[in-house]
Amino acid sequence: MSLSTREFELWVEKYRPKTLDEIVDQKEIVERLRKFVETKTMPHCLFAGPPGTGKTTAAHCLAHDLFGEDYRESFLELNASDERGIDVIRTTVKNFARSATLTDVPFKILVLDEADNLTADAQQALRRTMEKYTDTCRFILSCNYSNRIIEPIQSRTAIFRFTPLPPEDTYIYLKRICDAEGVKLTEDGARAIYEVAEGDLRKAVNTLQAAASLGKPIIADVVYDVVGWVHPKEVAEMMDYALKGDFSKSRSSLRMLLYQRGYAGSDIIKRMHSRIFELDVSEKQKIELINYLGEIDFRVAQGADEEVQISAFLARLALVGRGLG
């Protein structure tokens, strides 16, 4: 299952939902979009939310359910991060918006993906275009940060806020792909993929494909290896050494992760942050450790030596283990 970039794009397209009924999660949003299909009318829309949560897919599914299989004749998708200037609004967008549709739906749909990357001038021009051609075209603006869309445009749109997908819906989608492609996905592998993706289904599918390309069953170790993450078990082991008072062994584990395995200090710190919540220490000590780790993370981000800073945290952890922290 080792695929080229183009083959992978086709592979993803194969499993992308085609209709609103196939969209996982986002139930309230799907119900609102179904009303548009039933009434064959809709306002301008603003789809906002984290990446990989189904914004662009929802726009395609809405158009498919409105216009049928040949929906692309009345549908145009532009990526505003590539075409973000005022000239695009004045030419490509305006030319599409002002021509009438030949379907029984009285309007066409134009999707501006990543609309929060449009320049201020382009957004002002877009506002006027949305007003002028509202009879023949409906706009769907998709963005990660709705606060980057100017207020006049926000006031002219119905806002849909997409949320990260929960683990169970992510697993159902990945399992469907694995069953069709003959790939074995274990339970701990699925958990690892979700941990990496953090609710971003696109990232989850990318990670699945990368792991499957090795031709092995997809277990947690394989997932962490292909994405270059330090394994949580190794971080847990390093922190447990410190908590039990064996600082030298803990520091040796850190040096192994940094210099032999080549992991970035920031990645190790992030895994340590997750591990703190599982430590057998008091709530007050967890709060103090989180606070101190935040300082360590800031110092490393500012260019401080990774080994020195993380060793300082492990020393603090050793003091906590001895009842001195």
Domains of the chain: 26-161 (3.40.50.300), 167-227 (1.10.8.60), 232-321 (1.20.272.10)
Q: Which ranges of 68-185 would DSSP assign to H, the alpha helix? A: 86-88, 94-98, 120-132, 151-154, 167-181
Low-confidence ranges of the chain (pLDDT < 50): 1-4
DSSP 8-state secondary structure symbol assigned to residue 164: P
What gap in Å lies between CA 294 and CA 133, rounded to an integer?
51
CA–CA–CA angle 45, 51, 62 (5° rounding): 40
pLDDT at 237: 93
pLDDT at 69: 85
pLDDT at 290: 95
Q: What is the Cα gyration radius of the chain?
A: 25
DSSP for 287-317 reads HHHHHHHHHHHHHHHTT--HHHHHHHHHHHH
DSSP 8-state secondary structure symbol assigned to residue 244: T
pLDDT at 173: 86
CA–CA–CA angle 249, 251, 253 (5° rounding): 70
What gap in Å lies between CA 213 and CA 85, rounded to an integer?
39
Nearest to 235 by CA among 182, 194, 284, 278: 278
Nearest to 195 by CA among 168, 172, 167: 167
pLDDT at 286: 93
pTM of the model: 0.77
pLDDT at 3: 47
pLDDT at 6: 52
pLDDT at 306: 93
pLDDT at 216: 85
Q: How far apart are the first and last CA of the chain?
A: 51
